[in-house]
A = this chain, B = another copy of it.
Amino acid sequence: MMMRKTGDHEGPMGTIAISGSASGIGAATRAMLEADGHTVIGIDLRDAEVIADLCTDEGRRSAVADVAQRCGGALDGFVSGAGLGPPAPAASITEVNYFGSQNLLEGLRPALAAASGASVVQIGSNSTTITPNVPDALVEAILDEDRRAITAVLDDIGEPFDSAIAYGASKIAITRWCRRQAVTDEWVGQDIRLNVIAPGAVQTPLLERGDDDPVYGPLTTQLPVPTGRGTPDDIATWITFMLTPAARFACGSVVFVDGGSDALIRTDDWPSTFST
């Protein structure tokens, strides 16, 4: 019922980098930001200003250097959205989803600090809370950057479900990294807001590859989504809002926008009490 027009703006426009800009949520966010007059530096394997493979150290380093050069050393925002999901190989999923995000966040931090009041949105996932049986040891191994331990846990799980477990674990790890960093001198202390959005089942190429898979299809298509599946635009609206100064009191938050799957499956688990 209540409408708000997009495409209106005032004041200086910003320069925002987006990883995973060529498809899905990244592409929808790009279109919305450009409609609002912002300059977008896209990072992807194709159809982007910065072509880079975030599955490799070299690709991540070149992406950081290229973005820093293109933004002239000051970046107003970053949407860390590049990601892989099942049925991609488990090892590639952890490389892109965790290291591809974490390396770019760290690498672009100086350019973000050089801007005035930069905002960063990491794309997490509700797979962090609704994927059963993700081993905490895998989350810890990823956060420790211990690739030997990562491989050991994933080998232990084995195909085909190692990919789904790697997806959930990599998204928990990057979310946790963001929550740990957001409140530090390096981030909030430099006036950079770092928050996470946790989308649910959104009709994107990533999810559709899962739907079409003989093993994962029955799982993804049967996931209960109380509102029905979302569209990339349903997430891009939140991301573009979270990038604005109007959203600046959020810091280290994990914003679930998932059609109710987390509320349905983990209803009473959060918020939870704690004891001292």
Contacts and interface: CB of A to CB of B under 8 A. Distances in A.
Interface string A240-255: 0101111111111111
Interface in A76-131: 76-77, 115-119, 124, 128-129
Given A234-B249, A245-B1, A252-B260, A129 B271 contact: yes
B273 A172 contact: yes
Contacts of A256: 250, 253-255
Contact of A243 (B2, B136, B139, B188): B2
Contacts of A9: 2-5
* Interface residues on chain A, size class: 35 or more
A119 B267 contact: no
Contacts of A193: 227
How many copies of the chain does the oligomer comprise?
2
A29 to B, nearest CB: 13
A164 interface: no
Contacts of A253: 255-258, 262-263
Given A250-B257, A263-B179, A273 B5 contact: no
A188 to B, nearest CB: 5
B267 A249 contact: no
A38 interface: yes
A198 B270 CA distance: 12
A36 interface: yes
21 contacts: A1-B14, A1-B76, A1-B117, A1-B245, A2-B9, A2-B245, A4-B10, A135-B273, A180-B263, A182-B226, A183-B260, A183-B264, A226-B251, A227-B251, A249-B258, A251-B258, A253-B255, A253-B256, A253-B262, A254-B270, A269-B274
